Amino acid sequence: MRATVIHGPHDVRIEEVPDPAIHKPTDAVVRVVSACICGSDLWAYRGVASRVAGQRIGHEFLGVVEETGGEVTGLVPGDFVVAPFVWSDGTCHFCREGLHTSCPEGGFWGEVGSDGGQGEAVRVPFADGTLVKLPGELAGEEKLLPSLLALSDVMSTGHHAAVAARVRPGATVAVVGDGAVGLCGVLAARRLGAGRIIALGRHEQRTAIAREFGATDVVAERGAAAVEAVRELTRGEGAHAVLEAVGTEESMRTAVSVTRDGGAVGYVGVPHGGSAGVDIAQMFARNIAVAGGVAPARAYIPQLLPDVLSGAIEPGLVFDRTVHLDDVPDGYRAMDDRTALKVRIAF
Amino acid sequence: MRATVIHGPHDVRIEEVPDPAIHKPTDAVVRVVSACICGSDLWAYRGVASRVAGQRIGHEFLGVVEETGGEVTGLVPGDFVVAPFVWSDGTCHFCREGLHTSCPEGGFWGEVGSDGGQGEAVRVPFADGTLVKLPGELAGEEKLLPSLLALSDVMSTGHHAAVAARVRPGATVAVVGDGAVGLCGVLAARRLGAGRIIALGRHEQRTAIAREFGATDVVAERGAAAVEAVRELTRGEGAHAVLEAVGTEESMRTAVSVTRDGGAVGYVGVPHGGSAGVDIAQMFARNIAVAGGVAPARAYIPQLLPDVLSGAIEPGLVFDRTVHLDDVPDGYRAMDDRTALKVRIAF
């Protein structure tokens, strides 16, 4: 089969790779129907996160179960499924508590020795614990696929930021980051009843989606000017809940600075800047909490799915380009130079 | 009157200062019955936190109202009161929400132009919003005074750490720091129903108090060895809730490292080490929250008072020495060289 392979910075290729097969009785093989490129894939693409030449890449996909191992009890060939961006055994303490990302048996698609999501098929470890079964009739509903695919990571991750930031009905929320996760954070905050949502971003196409997702205000400034702008919008106080969806030192510093005293930052941007932005002296004086991390999408997908099916939320609107598998390298380039927000892959 | 004045590192003196008087109609003057020296006073004493030569010092006291301004409605001369370690107007958004430490009109005893708590009397701004009235008959109960005085800061601060760390009934808790606040954190965790409390400390007198306050385990190691010891006690997982009561980079790093995935650090140690200990990469991967800050003692005192009065908690056991006002410099020396845990001042 063909899959996306990363060889080095700015060097992703579509290559012929061995067909996936059942290795363990808890495995399944899933034929991918739809996948996508994540903003966090760009850390590897840009060489900021190191990869072994030849590693697979991609961690968001949905598809149809093609084969199952002998111990898989909850899935059969033909089932339509969505995969969270990490796999997990579904049976450990952490999985049972809903923190599947801390499963000791868990792993990340594309890590050495595993398949990535940006390929024609994927061997899925711990299929029962990992995959979420979707109503089978949806497999053909092209219009719903983008939003179902968004559950794999960006919508679940935006939701995690909102939960960690303690978004409550009526709360004032600020969202730092206008990538797909930040936009899904806006949508998640609206879904949780936020009264006011301030999106920080300057890219007009993205802020337009932010408004469509529920942002009531957009702040185009950055750094100290952004902090001042958010304070002006909030009686000088800042936002009760701030979603950090970038991961740099600067974005975390902005997030802490625009948080109202006693409020919380929900951080989901993969940290790439050390801890200096987590300004503990400021946090201490103003009782600001920092919570979040890698989102347990496996726990959130079943919670968010009904609202996708009902149309109450449409996170798939973050996709603004679709490429065929052969053109995935173009998709990376487009996301890298910000001419595309989020690229979906068709098969 | 006489009060404690700080002139520079290791130079606190008892001096004759002007008697406090009502400056604003919301003021009261309180004659101090009991006060104490705080571990955080040592930051100033050691020259780590800068002070203007001649500043007052001390922020924990209880006493009797001597005089009130014309707009004070809730207190009359003769009332027995305890002061939280910051003053607050009691009427702003933040005070009404219980975050008195963020009151825009608030301030810290001993800041330039204000009285400190380690003196014979104190001018109290916003007396109605600041002071908590105690049952008058307690003024003579010498045995209760230490515990009532502990509400002023250390017990309220330990409680804040426990609340911020989300201590729940049955939870496994670790406490980093064996000073008075850390010990009160142990007591607060027990009060909130913790199932297991691991105190990190090596000073036998202090760990004995920790056990009396509810610690089930004591870890004498430090740094990486302490992390390993806590993990050994917790199936390799760490503690659900970790109370950080020191404020150095090393103590915060230890706190984050001994937290179970998905758990929280409640930090109340005044930060003196930058943010490097707030290891955001580790926090991200393991979904660890960091919450806390300066404790809104004014909100907590009324909540904790009934348990002090009933004897359910006796935080005053953290005091192991009493000095008269003239001997306060000796008290600082004793706390600085750790021959005293916490020094109370008699008048």
Closest chain B C-alpha to A253 CA, distance in angstroms: 11
φ and ψ at B310, to 5 degrees?
-80, -10
The verdict on B99 touching A (C-beta cutoff 8 Å) is yes
The verdict on B270 touching A (C-beta cutoff 8 Å) is yes
Shared-domain flag, residues A89 and A200 = no
Nearest CA in chain A to B277: A275
Best CA proximity match to A226, nearest among A193, A259, A267? A259
> In whole angstroms, how large is the CA radius of gyration of chain B?
20
CB contact under 8 A, B289 and A292: yes
Q: Which pLDDT tens digits describe chain A residue by residue (347 residues)?
A: 999 999 999 999 999 999 999 999 999 999 999 999 999 999 999 999 899 999 999 999 999 999 999 999 999 999 999 999 999 999 999 999 999 999 999 999 999 999 999 999 999 999 999 999 999 888 778 899 999 999 999 999 999 999 999 999 999 999 999 999 999 999 999 999 999 999 999 999 999 999 999 999 999 999 999 999 999 999 999 999 999 999 999 999 999 999 999 999 999 998 887 888 999 999 999 999 999 999 999 999 999 999 999 999 999 999 999 999 999 999 999 999 999 999 999 99
Hey, CA dihedral for A248, A249, A254, A257, is it positive or negative? positive
For residue B93, list chain A residues with Cβ-Cβ distance below 8 A: 237
Output the six-digit token pair for B195. 């199932």
Shared-domain flag, residues B42 and B172 = no
Q: How many CA atoms lie within 13 A of B189 on its CB side?
A: 40
The verdict on A248 touching B (C-beta cutoff 8 Å) is no
Give the pLDDT score at B142: 87
Domain count for chain A: 2
Q: What is the pLDDT of residues B93-109, one digit of tens each?
A: 999 999 999 999 999 99
Pairing of strands B2-8, B289-292: unpaired
DSSP A71: T
CB contact under 8 A, B286 and A102: yes
Residue A119 to residues A13, A65, A92, A123, B266: CA-CA distances in angstroms? Answer: 11, 14, 29, 11, 44
The verdict on B335 touching A (C-beta cutoff 8 Å) is no
The verdict on A297 touching B (C-beta cutoff 8 Å) is no
For residue A101, list chain B residues with Cβ-Cβ distance below 8 A: 287
Contacts for A256 with CB less than 8 Å, ≥ 6 apart = A242, A265, A277, A278, A279, A282, A283, A288, A290
For residue B238, list chain A residues with Cβ-Cβ distance below 8 A: none
DSSP H or E stretch at residue A333 = helix A328-336
Amino acid B168 reads: R
Beta partners for residue A197, in sequence order: A173
**End-to-end Cα separation, chain B, in angstroms:** 12
Torsion of CA B182, B187, B191, B193, to 10 degrees: 70
| Domain end position, chosen among B292, B309, B328 | B292
Q: Tell me if B267 sits within 8 A of B161, measured CB to CB.
A: yes
CB contact under 8 A, B283 and A264: no
Closest chain A C-alpha to B39 CA, distance in angstroms: 17
- The rounded distance, in Å, linking the Cα atoms of B18 and B39 is 27
Pairing of strands A172-176, A239-244: parallel
What's the CATH code of the domain at A15? 3.90.180.10
Shared-domain flag, residues B108 and B22 = yes
Give the pLDDT score at B194: 98
ipTM above 0.90, yes or no: yes
Shared-domain flag, residues B269 and B308 = no
The verdict on A170 touching B (C-beta cutoff 8 Å) is no
Closest chain A C-alpha to B156 CA, distance in angstroms: 14
Shared-domain flag, residues B148 and B176 = no
The verdict on B267 touching A (C-beta cutoff 8 Å) is yes
> In whole angstroms, how large is the CA radius of gyration of chain A?
20
Q: Is A253 exposed, middle or buried (0-12, 13-18, 19+ CB in 10 A)?
A: buried
Domain of B220 in residue numbering reads as 157-292
The verdict on B251 touching A (C-beta cutoff 8 Å) is no
Q: Tell me if B69 sits within 8 A of B123, measured CB to CB.
A: no
φ and ψ at A180, to 5 degrees?
-60, -35
CB contact under 8 A, A289 and B294: no
pTM of the entire predicted model: 0.96
Best CA proximity match to B257, nearest among B246, B269, B244? B244
Residue B198: CB atoms within 10 Å? 27
**Apex A153 CA angle, A148 and A159, nearest 5:** 90
For residue B271, list chain A residues with Cβ-Cβ distance below 8 A: 280-281, 284
Shared-domain flag, residues A104 and A182 = no
Q: Which of B164, B261, B274 shows the shortest C-beta gap to A99?
A: B261
Residue carrying the six token digits 């899935």: A75
Hey, CA dihedral for B279, B283, B286, B289, is it positive or negative? positive
Q: Tell me if A279 sits within 8 A of B276, measured CB to CB.
A: no
Nearest CA in chain A to B281: A271
- Report CA B232 to chain centroid distance, whole Å: 30
For residue A293, list chain B residues with Cβ-Cβ distance below 8 A: 283-288
Shared-domain flag, residues B11 and B74 = yes
Shared-domain flag, residues A273 and A287 = yes
Shared-domain flag, residues B140 and B180 = no
- The rounded distance, in Å, linking the Cα atoms of A186 and A206 is 11
Q: Which of B261, B264, B275 shows the shortest C-beta gap to A275?
A: B275
- The rounded distance, in Å, linking the Cα atoms of B214 and B208 is 10
Shared-domain flag, residues B126 and B170 = no
Q: Is A179 exposed, middle or buried (0-12, 13-18, 19+ CB in 10 A)?
A: buried
Residue A342: CB atoms within 10 Å? 27
- Best of A284, A286, A294 to substitute, by most chain B Cβ atoms within 10 angstroms, is A284
Shared-domain flag, residues A285 and A190 = yes
Shared-domain flag, residues A173 and A98 = no
What's the CATH code of the domain at B229? 3.40.50.720
- Best of B250, B261, B294 to substitute, by most chain A Cβ atoms within 10 angstroms, is B261
- Best of B278, B288, B300 to substitute, by most chain A Cβ atoms within 10 angstroms, is B278
Q: Collect the ranges in chain B with pLDDT lower than 50.
A: none
CB contact under 8 A, B262 and A289: no
Which residues in B126-272 belong to E strands, given as ranges? 132-134, 172-176, 196-200, 217-219, 239-244, 259-267
Nearest CA in chain A to B252: A280
